[in-house]
C-alpha cells in the first residue's frame, strides 16, 4: 500500500507538473497572440496615419496647382484686357488722326453736312471731263508725293536707328492712309 500510495503521489505530482507546464505554455501563446495583435493594430494605425498624411499632402499639392493655374489664367486675362485696351486706344487715336487728315479737317456733324453740300454742288456744277482731268492730276500728285515720302523715308531710315525708323514708319502710316482715302474719294466723285 505504501508503494501504491507513493506511485499515486508521484503520478499526481507529475500530472500537476505537466498541467503547470501546459498552463505556462498556454499563457505564453496567449501573450504572444496578444502582442502580435497589438503590433498588427499599431501597424494598421501607422499605415492609416501615413495614408491620411499622404492624402492631405496630395490635396494640398493639387490645391496649389489649381491656385497657380487660376492665377495664370487671371494674369493671361489681365494681359489680354490690357492689350485690347491699348488696341482700342490706338484705334481711337488713328481714327482721330484720320479725321484730322480728311478733306474737311476735323469731322463734326456740322462739317460733315457742309462737306456733303459742297460735294453735291461741285457734282452738279462740274462736268465729267473736268472730274476725270482732276482725277488724273490728283493721281499724279498722290503718286509723286507717295514716291517722295517713300524716298525721303528710305533715306531717313538709313541714317536712323531701327527703333527710330519703326516709330517714324508708324507715324507716317496715317498720312499714307489718308492719301489713299483721298484717292478713293476722288474716284467716287468722278463716278
Per-residue model confidence as pLDDT tens digits over 3-44: 888 888 899 999 999 999 999 999 999 999 999 999 999 999
pLDDT at 17: 94
- For residue 9, give the C-alpha cell: 503521489
- For residue 13, give the C-alpha cell: 505530482
- For residue 118, give the C-alpha cell: 459742297
- Give me the helix-helix angle, 109-125 and 162-190, nearest 10°: 50
* Tens of pLDDT, residues 130-157: 555 655 655 565 565 555 555 555 555 4
What values do phi and psi take at 12, rounded to 5? Answer: -65, -40
As a whole-number percent, the residues of the chain with pLDDT over 90 amount to 41
Average pLDDT over residues 123-134: 52
Examine the pLDDT at 184 and tell me if it is beyond 80: no
Max alpha carbon distance in the chain (Å)?
167
pLDDT at 5: 85
Q: Please state, in angstroms and as integers, the Cα–Cα distance from residue 79 to each residue in 72, 73, 88, 126, following that order.
A: 10, 10, 14, 54
Q: Please state, in angstroms and as integers, the Cα–Cα distance from residue 166 to each residue in 20, 37, 135, 190, following that order.
A: 107, 82, 32, 36
pLDDT at 110: 47
pTM to 2 decimals? 0.33
Is the sign of the CA dihedral 38, 39, 40, 42 positive or negative?
A: positive
Amino acid at each position: 500500500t505504501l508503494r501504491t500510495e507513493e506511485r499515486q503521489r508521484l503520478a499526481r505530482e507529475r500530472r500537476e507538473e505537466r498541467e503547470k507546464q501546459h498552463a505556462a505554455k498556454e499563457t505564453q501563446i496567449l501573450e504572444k497572440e496578444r502582442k502580435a495583435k497589438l503590433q498588427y493594430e499599431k501597424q494598421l494605425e501607422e499605415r492609416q496615419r501615413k495614408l491620411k498624411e499622404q492624402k492631405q499632402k496630395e490635396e494640398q499639392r493639387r490645391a496649389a496647382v489649381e491656385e497657380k493655374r487660376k492665377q495664370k489664367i487671371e494674369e493671361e486675362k489681365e494681359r489680354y484686357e490690357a492689350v485690347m485696351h491699348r488696341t482700342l486706344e490706338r484705334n481711337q487715336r488713328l481714327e482721330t488722326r484720320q479725321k484730322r487728315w480728311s478733306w474737311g479737317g476735323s469731322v463734326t456733324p456740322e462739317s460733315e453736312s457742309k462737306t456733303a453740300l459742297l460735294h453735291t454742288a461741285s457734282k452738279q456744277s462740274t462736268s465729267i471731263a473736268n472730274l476725270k482731268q482732276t482725277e488724273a492730276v490728283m493721281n499724279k500728285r498722290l503718286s509723286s508725293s507717295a514716291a517722295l515720302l517713300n524716298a525721303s523715308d528710305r533715306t531717313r531710315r538709313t541714317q536712323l536707328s531701327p527703333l527710330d525708323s519703326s516709330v517714324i514708319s508708324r507715324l507716317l502710316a496715317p498720312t499714307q492712309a489718308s492719301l489713299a482715302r483721298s484717292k478713293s474719294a476722288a474716284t467716287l466723285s468722278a463716278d
